[in-house]
């Protein structure tokens, strides 16, 4: 599929319910039918990735809002790249200004980018935000 544009939607912590997330997702899918030169990547909250990734016949790609830089271990609340691969995630937002405000360093962001690339996921590297 040849596309001219990629549109990425970072849903952050929205919407609150799965039902609403599915409704918005279906609306995006319907809109994509009208424009074959646009690829959409939706980055929902982690709790909505699994059900949205299982949507049949979807044209929209699923992305993640972050990854943890380790593939295994005791890291409460974190999500590994292997978990995301299993859910058919194709893109990962890395280095978002909100994460940087929480203390993410350039070195940590680099680790995440290298890990995403190692697992053949497309990193969406955020720069220039304040």
Mean pLDDT confidence for 66-78:
95
Buried b (16+ CB within 10 A) or exposed e, 80-94: bbebbeebebbbbbb
Q: Is the pLDDT of residue 86 over 80?
A: yes
Q: Is the pLDDT of residue 98 over 80?
A: yes
Instruction: Kindly report the number of other CB atoms within 10 A of residue 126's CB atom.
Output: 16
Mean pLDDT of the chain: 93
Mean pLDDT confidence for 104-121:
97
So what's the pLDDT on residue 56? 78
Instruction: Kindly report the number of other CB atoms within 10 A of residue 51's CB atom.
Output: 14
SS3 of the chain: the string is CCCCEEEEEECCCCCCCHHHHHHHHHHHHHHHHHCCCEEEEEECCHHHHHHHHCCCCCCCEEEECCCCCCCCCCCCCCCCHHHHHHCCEEEEEECCHHHHHCCCCHHHHHHHHHHHHHCCCEEEECCCCC
For residue 41, the cross-strand partners are 8, 61
- Interatomic CA distance for residues 51 and 80, integer angstroms: 18
Q: Is the pLDDT of residue 92 over 80?
A: yes
pLDDT above 70 as % of the chain: 97
Q: Is the pLDDT of residue 101 over 60?
A: yes
Q: What does pTM read for this prediction?
A: 0.91
So what's the pLDDT on residue 36? 80
- Tens-place pLDDT, residues 2-53: 558 999 999 999 999 999 999 999 999 998 888 888 899 999 999 999 999 9
């Amino acid at each position: 599929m040849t596309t001219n544009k990629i549109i990425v939607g970072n849903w952050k912590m929205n919407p609150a319910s799965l039902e609403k997330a599915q409704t918005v997702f279906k609306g995006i899918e319907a809109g994509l039918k009208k424009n074959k030169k646009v690829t959409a990547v939706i980055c929902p909250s982690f709790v909505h990735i699994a059900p949205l990734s299982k949507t049949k016949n979807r044209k929209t790609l699923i992305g993640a809002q972050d990854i943890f830089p380790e593939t295994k271990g005791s890291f409460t609340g974190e999500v590994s790249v292997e978990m995301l691969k299993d859910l058919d995630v194709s893109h990962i937002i890395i280095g978002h200004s909100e994460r940087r405000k929480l203390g993410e360093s350039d070195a940590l962001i680099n680790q995440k980018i290298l890990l995403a690339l190692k697992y053949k996921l497309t990193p969406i590297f955020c720069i220039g935000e304040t």
